[in-house]
Amino acid sequence: MRRVSRLAGVVTAGVLVASSGCTQSPAPVPTPSLSPSPAKPAPSQQTPPSASTIYPFAAIRPSASQPAQDAALIRYYRAWQKAFVRKQCGSGQYQVYAPDADYPFVAEAQGYGMVITASMANREPSTKPVFDGLLTYVLAHPSDRHPDLMAAEQDRACHDRGGASSATDGDMDIAYGLLLADVMWGSEGRYDYRALASRRIHSIKANTVHPGSNLMLLGDWSGPDDPALYRTSRTSDWMPQHFTAFEKATKDPDWSAIRASHRRAVAHIQSRYSPGTGLLPDFVESRGGNVEPVRGEVLETRHDGDYHFNACRTPWRLGVDAITSGDKSSTAAVRKINAWFRESTGDDPNRVGSGYTLGGERYDPDRDNAFWAPLAVAAMTDRTGQRWLDALWAKMAGSTIDPANYFGSTIQLQVMLVVTGHWTAP
């Protein structure tokens, strides 16, 4: 998703302050009545569970007590909902608003919103109506090529734009969110979440996986008529734990092969193109049975071959696979990235920039949370990195929502779900 310039302002605990220079935004959804925070537990209950009791292959978790972690998560979730959840496109429909994208409503954002609201169900009972409203919106905007996928972009009038074809990551998270909804609420109500998930997963495989490389395509519009883009894959769509969930839900063994292909591609890129850093590029191109970083602008920016606003998500996506599956290749991949960031920053999250060459040259000193927050998941694989993980957690727990930064804020919230122990593998 191409990013646009940021606007000013922050949201603290759901209250907008100091916002200026904005175009008129869709009206926010009134925050629903929220359940009170649970009573403070006895001191003996205030130590965080060991990493292995929640994620079997995590080495560490933040040192903060579990009640403190949960309180920070709930505060950030409520501020996120106030800033980005809208109800603007028809009766019963909710949307996640993305002011920093080309269009205000994008499939990526709706997928994120569905994963978040389903994941928060045990902490915030009010999330189911929001989830169902997001799903209603998704179903109202099918791809014009394959109706079980979502059109990637909608404008302020809620009309499809950009050809009304799909974006792969949006559908992957929509499907994952539907699997979570089936776990949280069952599929006996208004929507059969499980059936909808299965249909979308089948369409994802049929229409957004390259039949030769087994890597994810950019969307259902990508085909042999444009060979260069047909060979191109976005590394932020490389979500091995999603592939595992899809295989489990559909009993389709092809997802195992797809997962293995992506893990091999990560290892090849790190070995051949970023041996000192482990960083992945935003986009790769398949050539001769292997992959290589693209050169120059291929789809979004001149940094398409660098560690930029897509690849910054890979420590989170690969890290979730490492701590839930124990896969050796994903664990090795995120440990390599984690080790380089620890060394290059001296365990100081404030020194993480917002763009790097694969060799480790920082070209943007901005401190966007889309870059530093995902490192917390990678840090959970490093038994020697408690100080580093605690610094990353403290930065997340003490941060506020910028209402112009949907992207970084929404990534950070999902990272917080992971590190607090509230990420579910359906």
Q: Which residues are catalytic?
A: 108, 169
CA 18 to chain CA centroid, nearest Å: 28
Q: Which residue has the tokens 């994952």?
A: 176
Angle between helices 406-419 and 107-119 (to 10 degrees): 30
Give Cα separations from 299 to 101, 108, 282, 305, 307 (angstroms): 15, 16, 10, 10, 15
Tokens in use for 76?
């950030």
306-317: string of b/e by CB count within 10 Å (b at 16+)? bbbbbbbbbbbb
Half-sphere exposure for 44 (CA within 13 Å, toward CB): 0
The DSSP secondary-structure symbol of 195 reads H
CB 204 within 8 Å of CB 195: no
With CA atoms as reference, report the closest residue to 166 among 107, 213, 124: 107
Note the residue count of the chain. Answer: 426
Phi, psi torsion values for 174, nearest 5 degrees: -60, -45
Cα–Cα distance measured from residue 110 to residue 95, given in angstroms and rounded to the nearest whole number: 6
CB 114 within 8 Å of CB 131: yes
The DSSP secondary-structure symbol of 276 reads T
Give Cα separations from 360 to 274, 281, 352, 355 (angstroms): 8, 12, 11, 9
Assign 3-class secondary structure to 87-136.
CCCCCCCCEECCCCECCCEEHHHHHHHHHHHHHCCCCCCCHHHHHHHHHH
Element (DSSP H or E) covering residue 202: helix 193-208
